[in-house]
Structure 1
Amino acid sequence: MKLRNFFGHLNTVNKHRFKVLKLSIKAGIPLRGLLHDLSKYSPQEFFEGVKYFDGKVSPIKICKKENGYSKAWLHHKGRNKHHFEYWYDFNTPDKTPVIPYKYTVELICDNIAASLTYKGKDWNPASQLDYFKNRKDLDYINNKIKNLLIAVYKKICKEGINKVIKKKVLKEMYNKYVNN
């Protein structure tokens, strides 16, 4: 294990979590921000992250490319309700549940923070929408949640993070797209 990878990965995880915390506070879910991604410090997730760390993309992405899967990701998505994969049941693909509000907002904060962390200075308001639309696994997410996420990311493109990531705005949008 390289010390540079160890501290590089630790720094990236900490930076990401801090960005999620800041966004979560703005969004009105500070506790979710504090608890966000604590499983990334578990040995199952952390040491795979160190092994595949390069500082440019998620180590999970690199591990999946090299091995076809990631044990860290399997561990992570099964413990973190802000990932839509947590809610998907392959035995009932037509009945994908709606993700509860607090986890949906945490998912939004997480996605934006990840984009900010990995894109750095190259980040722009369209980054998250572009990334989301290019995902290949969108069939596994509830359509109401998918439409909400697209609407939120489009609104961020037009108005910016600071005007959209607010409790009132997100609650109104969740109610419009999910509780209609």
Structure 2
Amino acid sequence: MSEAHDSTSVSAADLEAVERQLGRPPRGVAGVAHRCPCGEPDVVRTEPRLPDGTPFPTTFYATCPRLTGAISTLETGGLMREMSARLEDDAMLRAAYERAHERYLASRAELGDVPEIDGISAGGMPTRVKCLHVLVAHSLAEGPGVNPLGDEALALLDEWWTPTSCAQQHAAEDAQAQR
């Protein structure tokens, strides 16, 4: 799998890919935080305040439908409940998850200060697991070792980008549309 990427900019092609993935125009994209092995964005870094003024705490947002579908399968299997229970019983895991929460807040603070969401990260951090999508996106964006539960969930995912990469599928759809 590819490494986490610097998310200082975003190209028009990246925005088009994210729009295709989401089925709507993306909002507040600050950059591509991670790319799928096929080269398409799969996690974007989002401004803490959307263009319409809405506070948005989800700094790392998974966009690839294959990735989000795979994560949803984990969620429906009860993994969030299991992870939340482990947080109650495991002091070392709880401390690591707290550090992930602090790192998430620091990453968002690099993009700006939004008082309405001060101290609020995402995904249920630091006390519970509410959204695996956010935790996996955080792990992909910032790399292994930052979010222990995001890393665990990521390790449970199949290779969502196979057997046909998103880029290959998009090219085939474009060719079909031009016929």
Structure number with higher helix proportion: 1
TM-score using structure 1 length? 0.31
